[in-house]
Structure 1
């Protein structure tokens, strides 16, 4: 299972890092505490729609763009077979590529029987990495 808050956080972090901005710069512009923004980026806290809009505004992005990226990543994850099922003969912590559509490549690393890490790489004008 992929957690929405982790995919959103990773998308926000990728945008911020792509702009070479610090957490402090974005948290000040969005009027949110640095610690809370960090927790959102790490997928530990779920941000309200108002807060997501403020963070997107601080990043110079539209909320619909961010949610579109998140939706595409989740769509690929939903189409993965056996995300939480170890592959026979393969160690649980091994990574494997499970989906690609040309512009997005997704791989899964099984961390434990109940935890998998989704890693999506999106290529457009620049490479952006999302992990969940």
Structure 2
């Protein structure tokens, strides 16, 4: 699965390159070291929200736009989560004679439980 920091780095690098700007120019404007910005762009460092905001200001883009683009990319490549089965209301008659199949029949996906609430 893609790591969020990798997608953020790719988005920042794509923006910088589309503006035909160098790492040096953007790192200077963002007040971050060139090496650190390079690591962020390559997805090797997890940037704080403050650093991301500073880089976005230096690039002249809104952080919310970058995050939206990354979110859209992630939603396409992220696998659907498997349904989680949870036990719900075991029948009051459950006792020594209750079969495993009867007990399993009262489990259902969390989605169904939430939807019914």
Superposition TM-score, scaled by structure 2 size: 0.67
Q: Give how far 1:6 is off.
A: 0.3
Kindly report structure 1 stretches of 4+ aligned residues shifted beyond 3 Å.
none
Q: Which residue of 1 aligns with 2:24?
A: 24
Instruction: Describe the superposition over 1:66-100 as per-residue Cα deviations: whole angstroms up to 9, x where unpaired.
Output: 000000000001158xxxxxxxxxxxxxxxxxxxx
Q: Which residue of 2 aligns with 1:34?
A: 34
1:2 aligns with 2:11: no
Unmatched tracts of structure 2, length 5 or more: 81-117
More strand per residue? 1
Alignment of 1:111-122 (within 5 A): none
More helix per residue? 2
The structure with the larger Rg is 2
CA distance in 2, matches of 1:60, 1:70: 17
Unmatched tracts of structure 1, length 5 or more: 81-132
Alignment of 1:1-132 (within 5 A): 1-79=1-79
- CA-atom RMSD in angstroms: 1.0
